[in-house]
Amino acid sequence: MTERKDTIFAEPQDIKKFEFDQKVVEVFPDMIKRSVPGYTTIIQGIAEIAQRFVQPNSTIYDLGCSLGAASLAIRQTVDRSDCKIIAIDNSPAMIERCQMIQSSYNFAMPIEVMEADINELEMSSASMVILNFTLQFLPRGHRQELVDRIYDALLPGGCLVLSEKITLQHKALDEHIIDLHHDFKKQNGYSDMEIAQKRAALENVLLPDTREKHYKRFANAGFSEYDSWFQQYNFASFIAVK
């Protein structure tokens, strides 16, 4: 499948709220590679973490799976037919493409791809749960409840991997890091207009938290161990172990 270039915001336009619709799905691999520093490293790291934490006869949940990059990486790396992945997204366009991608591979670990609201999903017997740039799109009032439910669904020794755009506590430093992220996008071919228009579209849609807020949620849910395992600019990935 040929990867299409992201030109969604390349022309002046009336800015509407960002949505994971068919237009985004068509260019999503290019968009995320050029927009999220360290994304490839995070996906590889999730697969390596899975090698250590996936338990026999358990379930891995990929919540907000988009095109299923994390799920695919785990299936390629963890050779277990007694476990399964459940990959969930609420975007019909994402799920349709994700199902097409996943069904084109034949790995030992089965996967079930479904369209659903992760806030209403019943989870159990989980050895690993992935929230890869998903929590930041939920209303802040729903985030602790989801982390609590993930903790309850995890087996002892199971882990949550949470990747997010974060806000730094010190405003001046945060602004410097945001500028570095914008420089990263420019180096990857995005214009100032594209960066500005996408930022406007994501306003009040993507709401980042501080690292400290994430740690507080982990502690409130009951996780015994948690820390960051990756960060580049204002993009970080955390692991929390039950």
The helix or strand, by DSSP H or E, that contains position 183, with its residue range, turns out to be helix 171-187
In 3D space, the residue among 228, 211, 183, 227 whose CA is nearest the CA of residue 37 turns out to be: 183
Q: Are 78 and 47 in contact (CB under 8 A)?
A: yes
User: Is 106 assigned to a binding site?
Assistant: no
User: Is 220 assigned to a binding site?
Assistant: no
In 3D space, the residue among 102, 128, 131, 133 whose CA is nearest the CA of residue 38 turns out to be: 133
Bridge partners for 114 per DSSP: 88
User: Is 117 assigned to a binding site?
Assistant: yes
Distance between CA atoms of 123 and 135, rounded to whole angstroms?
17
Distance between CA atoms of 34 and 107, rounded to whole angstroms?
29
User: Is 64 assigned to a binding site?
Assistant: yes
Residue 118, Ramachandran bin (φ over 0: left; ψ between -120 and 50: alpha; else beta): alpha
In 3D space, the residue among 13, 78, 74, 7 whose CA is nearest the CA of residue 43 turns out to be: 74
User: Is 91 assigned to a binding site?
Assistant: no
CA dihedral over 140, 46, 215, 198, signed as positive or negative: negative
User: Is 199 assigned to a binding site?
Assistant: yes
User: Is 127 assigned to a binding site?
Assistant: no
Binding-site sequence positions? 39, 64-66, 89-90, 117-118, 132, 199
Binding-site sequence positions for S-adenosyl-L-methionine? 39, 64-66, 89-90, 117-118, 132, 199
